Structure 1
Amino acid sequence: MPNQRWQISSANPEKANQLAQGTGLSPLLGQVLLNRGFDTVDQAMVYLYPESQAMPSPMDEFPDLAISVEMLKEAIAENEKIAICGDYDADGMTSTALLLRALRWLGADVEYGIPSRMKEGYGINTRIVEEFANEGVGIILTVDNGIAAHDAIARAVELGLMVIITDHHDLPPELPNADAILNPKQLPESSPYRSLAGVGVAYILAVTLAQDLGQLQGLTSQLLELFTLGTIADLAPLTDINRRWLKRGLQRLPKSQLAGIQALIQMSGVSEDQIALKPEDIGFKLGPRINAVGRLADPQIVIELLTTSDAGIALERAMQCEQINQKRQQLCAEIEEEAIALIETEALNWQQQRVLVLVQPDWHHGVIGIVASRLVERYGVPVFIGTYEDENQEHIRGSARGIPEFHVFEALQFCHDLLGKFGGHQAAGGFSLPSENLTAFQTQLSHFAHQCLEPEHLKPLVAIDTEANFNQITYNLYQQIDRLHPCGIGNPDPIFWTPNVRVVEQRLVGKGHLKLTLSGFDGTKQLNAIAWRWGEYFPLPSTVDIAYKLKDNAWNGTVTIELELVGIRVSESAPSGIKKAEFYHNERRYTCSLWESLNELRIRNSEGKVLVIQKGQRTGLLGFKRDDAKQVDVTQPHYYQLIKAATRALNL
């Protein structure tokens, strides 16, 4: 069974019913609205209909927006060369494409440059600045980077170039000496623009400039599509102004007028018949194909894809994205497999360390961040994963992913004396360090982790909205959930749970997925379900509690509602003849079960190794599988104390 912790929101039926009646939604979704922080019907209605709320003008919010527009207007009027410095992730590439489209539309002389992911790393640097200067550039415009690039900006000023920084990353203690800075982190927490990604800042600058020049007509739609693509692919919060604009953008994408987006939709298998795309269409289909290029190949492929008006070139670039994404998937699978094998065969003691640090040669730096995310999903522990940058293995570059109680950027700051470059935010980050500092880095990270994490935090979190029975799961409910969209970061899909569900049928499908037929406890209604990447838990017990999202399945013109499982646990009230418990021993987590019919106690550690003891025996079996397990003397002190802890947890 998955090693999870369930967090079920406190139910407030009276208030949930009030919200449901005031909004015309199901009481289940009334509870979801309550969980999202909407206490009144008025608040809920603004959330459901974001266009109904008056928004402040960006000019009133961003202090340097007016001067940025004036600088660009003057450059366009005088035919002065403008250079965009972008980034190699989806946000940076869509931002670059958006401003290229806008500035070319407005008659600007504009070019772009993106640093090499493998050779230079993130952000504008002095090499790019000097190259722009040699090409006669007058204004540098950064997108999705630059807020901490003091040296590069200082060099630009020294060379007589003007600089506009557009970025959304956290502010350093001292800002670079740029001519203008547009960053939503400069705005108050209450500002609706605070959650913008880099592409959102670029969108505001482009629209404001075009509006000022009276040339907005015909441009807005194409910019909105790029804003939508970049914002969701960058995992920006789908709240406030993002939610307002994304509702429009997601409706436009199926009928996009941009040749590149049309080609990308065609290659990724997204249905063009949809009224609107959903964030998962971008998050799992369009976005990864763009991101893969920035991770493994030349970002110019994506820039050309998103700026060309030639359908042939667009299809060619989309096919390149497809091929590169397939290579990315293969690399991720290989590295993830190697990482899991390393974790489960080596004595890494990550539960005692409360953080998992993995460094191996020959892992591709461009994809290790994805692998780190998968390891967090699997083990529920903060993951710092790295690979060597050189043949001599003197330098390490890595990526980090966290859990809700662990702040990745603060952890990196805590270790700043051991690191080279580093950056990030609460959930993710990147870093480099000399190899000789690796052991000290692991020790210091563990020290930080012990300050904010308890042993019970070290398993994946399933945040659940409300309990539902199968009779409440209807197509009407699914349609009502659509009013909560777009769902994603900051506005998650509703998660329901149902206890005592019977597993009627189960089988393995695809690459390690579980397909199930489930029945409510009373047996009156059956629903199909899918559990992605849960093949290793096959077969599941006959009666379980489940947590799930709703999804639709269209087949032969018929649409049915299915469950997408995100959580599962043994039903506490299910009569199975098996007692189960969880406990901690020497700061490590274990699960144990007493199989009464076999008179057998089984104790499992987090790596999957199991100790099996039968009542009255002095020896037991220890191993990952019974077939190749070895015999051990369970009277030895460390086994004996472990067994005592397990029997206490089972109340024996």
Structure 2
Amino acid sequence: MSHSLPDQRWFIAQANKTSVEHLVQNTGLFPILAQVLLNREIITSDLAQIYLNPESQNLPSPLDEFSDLKLSVDLLAEAIASQDKIIICGDYDADGMTSTAVLLRSLTHLGADVNYLIPSRMKEGYGINTRIVEECASAGVGVILTVDNGISAYEPIARAVELGLTVIITDHHDLPEILPPADAILNPKLLSFNSPYQGLAGVGVAYILAVTTAQHLGKLQGLTDQLLELFTLGTIADLAPLTGVNRRWLKRGLKKLPKSKLAGIQALMQKSGVSDQQKPVKPDDIGFRLGPRINAVGRIGDPQIVIELLTTDDPEIAKMRAMQCEQINHQRQTLCEQIELEAIHLIENTPIQWKSDRILVVVHPEWHHGVIGIVASRLVERYGVPVFIGTYEEEDTTKIRGSARGIQEFNVFEALEFCRDLLGKFGGHKAAGGFSLATENLELFKKRLSQFAHQCLKIEYLKPLVKIDAQANFSQLNAALYQQIDSLQPWGIGNDFPVFWTENVRVIEQRMIGKNHLKVTLAQDDGCQIKAIAWRWGQYFPLPPRFDVAYKLRENIWNGNTDIELEIIGIRLTNIQNNVIKKASFQYKGRAYICSHWQEIDELRIKNEEGKVLSVKRGHRSGLLGINRETAETIDVTQPHYYQLIKEAIAALSG
């Protein structure tokens, strides 16, 4: 039986035995977990101690890092004292809505005359616009405070200044060539690259402004925990890097969430099944349960539902709003599944030449603006290329609005910059972005994106990447290892949950469960077995009888029993079979080599003392040379040095 397998590229981190032993001695971590820290560039004992205990790091004051923070605090304090109207201009994603809630709660607590506006996703798209500015001016607003937007809105900000409004921008998106003429700008992208505040999401910038203003006015008491909880929710939901100050504050915030004093967070956790008050909430609980319910409202509902959920102190209103989030999230799931299927059909039946283009651009007139970004992420997972997905403005087929998602070697924001002259509005960062353009520019947009992609993407990059930390045997995968991994939460973006791999495992049992998932029992040849789950892998059923497997560890609690299982994220056919590998060692020009002949695939491999491997198949004039296949270069093995080396290896194997 032939088996359909995911078309992946694996990157396996190189083990460093000496550094691992050093970290183990200084931290008490399991060796396999010490290797994970090394892979995260935590290479010294000092860095490891900060990683294990983020509170031990001496943080610089935000006032010293953000040059406009003191001015921003003074402007807000002055507006509060004179009761000038303050309008928060938010955004309709989880980051923007939690940012809005942070400043709405804090400024209300400080006695400000404050309200908020969020532009219509469907009619206006992302960010502050001239309509909002002119309405604020007409209504006698004194201060506009943007959250999670504004850094690219030169014209609306210039108009606000022209109309005499004070403007404070808080944002975290990439910087345009010319900054808008706001009175004050707070953006971590303006900081030095090694600042611990570099990775803040929009809600992190709002949190710093809220806390610093409350401290300045001497009214921080009673505010800290609720702002920290909102910061935690928004930071993880926005997929911000869980490093630097984010890691430090999230470690605190995740412990606070189970016993949250905020009625809205309590209601949302109960409705989504995250309600164990004895355990800290994990990033996955937010990423896969709380965050999607908040984001769904911004995508296809009214953001006011979430703002009210996160700012109300009335438990009944909170329950009602949480129920609305639940219902809207169900609608969002249905829409995503439908659009994903339609997109796949379009890609594979049109057909779209995404491999030769090195980019995937797909547009359909009837897709919902609010969820195409999620579908873009799923298409990236499926095809392994950057995806730009769009749909027409509501009833205007002359305009397209879209979302983009990238891969590791591709910068979405730079790609959009490369197409600047073809676009209306656009923005974003390395991994994701949004854009609009005239329909007549679509074909030129595709060509320009393909041109950009060819500059930075080799053909071998066009497969989903599986990044692996270390090799493991099933005997190492026990509750003690899982507990140590769990104690190092928060794992997430920029500090990925550890991924291990095991070679040549056997399938003992496999079956489909739910809509599209696989439940599997795997074993090594020593008899050690473990259960595994593969989410959304129904298309690969049945799996082959043997393979190498890449996975994360997960805790499965069922009927009061707790087991450690694998969450499969990658498989590849194994090269190891019984009695099919012949090995030998030899000397050539004073250097030692190990060689092996893999009979099943008729491949010769020669490894030197530095770990570099030359692999060549019988009858081929070219081979691969490198530490691993993913990064190896193609070389001509008929060159005298390689030709003679191969002859020596064959002689050694024949001896």
Given the two structures, how large is their TM-score scaled by the length of structure 2? Answer: 0.87
Distance 1:20 1:84, change over 3 A: same
Residue 569 of structure 2 corresponds to residue 566 of structure 1? yes
For the 8 Å contact 2:168–2:183, the answer to whether it is kept is yes
Return the alpha-carbon distance in structure 2 between the equivalents of residues 233 and 121 of structure 1: 20
Return the alpha-carbon distance in structure 2 between the equivalents of residues 243 and 397 of structure 1: 34
**Alpha-carbon shift at residue 345 of structure 1 (Å):** 2.0
Return the alpha-carbon distance in structure 1 between the equivalents of residues 369 and 461 of structure 2: 28
Distance 1:441 1:580, change over 3 A: farther
One-letter code aligned to 1:189? F
**Alpha-carbon shift at residue 41 of structure 1 (Å):** 1.6
Larger mean CA deviation between 12-21 and 357-366 belongs to: 12-21
Larger mean CA deviation between 467-476 and 405-414 belongs to: 405-414
2:54 to 50, 53, 73: 50
Query: Deviation per CA, 1:346-377, whole angstroms, max 9, x where unpaired?
Result: 22121111111111110111101100100000
Return the alpha-carbon distance in structure 1 between the equivalents of residues 443 and 209 of structure 2: 45
SS of 2:325's partner is helix
Query: Deviation per CA, 1:114-134, whole angstroms, max 9, x where unpaired?
Result: 111111111111111111122
Query: Deviation per CA, 1:425-444, whole angstroms, max 9, x where unpaired?
Result: 11111111111111111111
2:301 to 287, 291, 297: 297
**Alpha-carbon shift at residue 581 of structure 1 (Å):** 11
One-letter code aligned to 1:444? R
Query: Deviation per CA, 1:437-469, whole angstroms, max 9, x where unpaired?
Result: 111111111111111112111110000000000
In the comparison of the two structures, how many residue pairs are matched? 581
Return the alpha-carbon distance in structure 1 between the equivalents of residues 191 and 445 of structure 2: 34
Distance 1:139 1:546, change over 3 A: same
For the 8 Å contact 1:125–1:152, the answer to whether it is kept is yes
SS of 1:68's partner is helix
SS of 2:427's partner is strand
**Alpha-carbon shift at residue 390 of structure 1 (Å):** 4.5
Query: Deviation per CA, 1:565-597, whole angstroms, max 9, x where unpaired?
Result: 111111111369997899xxxxxxxxxxxxxxx
Aligned to 2:543: 540
Structure 2 counterparts to residues 139-158 of structure 1, below 5 A: 139-158=143-162
Aligned to 1:556: 559
SS of 2:298's partner is helix
Return the alpha-carbon distance in structure 2 between the equivalents of residues 569 and 330 of structure 1: 32
1:316 to 317, 320, 330: 320
Return the alpha-carbon distance in structure 1 between the equivalents of residues 176 and 240 of structure 2: 20
One-letter code aligned to 1:181? I
Return the alpha-carbon distance in structure 2 between the equivalents of residues 415 and 448 of structure 1: 9
Q: CA RMSD in A?
A: 1.6
Aligned to 1:380: 384
Return the alpha-carbon distance in structure 2 between the equivalents of residues 350 and 165 of structure 1: 38
Larger mean CA deviation between 505-514 and 70-79 belongs to: 70-79
Identity of matched residues, %: 70
**Alpha-carbon shift at residue 484 of structure 1 (Å):** 2.4
2:30 to 6, 19, 26: 26
Distance 1:390 1:271, change over 3 A: closer
Distance 1:484 1:533, change over 3 A: same
One-letter code aligned to 1:112? Y
SS of 2:361's partner is strand
Structure 2 counterparts to residues 441-452 of structure 1, below 5 A: 441-452=445-456
Return the alpha-carbon distance in structure 2 between the equivalents of residues 261 and 271 of structure 1: 10
Structure 2 counterparts to residues 209-608 of structure 1, below 5 A: 209-391=213-395, 393-523=397-527, 525-574=528-577
One-letter code aligned to 2:450? S
Aligned to 2:643: none
For the 8 Å contact 2:8–2:464, the answer to whether it is kept is yes
Distance 1:156 1:580, change over 3 A: farther
Structure 2 counterparts to residues 157-196 of structure 1, below 5 A: 157-196=161-200
Query: Deviation per CA, 1:77-132, whole angstroms, max 9, x where unpaired?
Result: 12221111101110000000010000111111111101111111111111111111
Aligned to 1:60: 64
SS of 1:451's partner is helix
Distance 1:223 1:392, change over 3 A: closer
Aligned to 2:610: none
**Alpha-carbon shift at residue 392 of structure 1 (Å):** 5.1
Larger mean CA deviation between 175-184 and 467-476 belongs to: 175-184
Given the two structures, how large is their TM-score scaled by the length of structure 1? Answer: 0.87
One-letter code aligned to 1:351? K
Return the alpha-carbon distance in structure 2 between the equivalents of residues 557 and 223 of structure 1: 35
One-letter code aligned to 1:421? K
One-letter code aligned to 1:530? I
Structure 2 counterparts to residues 628-639 of structure 1, below 5 A: none
Query: Deviation per CA, 1:122-150, whole angstroms, max 9, x where unpaired?
Result: 11111111111222211111111111211
Gaps of at least 5 residues in structure 2 are 581-598, 604-655
SS of 1:123's partner is coil
Query: Deviation per CA, 1:401-434, whole angstroms, max 9, x where unpaired?
Result: 1111111111111122222111111111111111
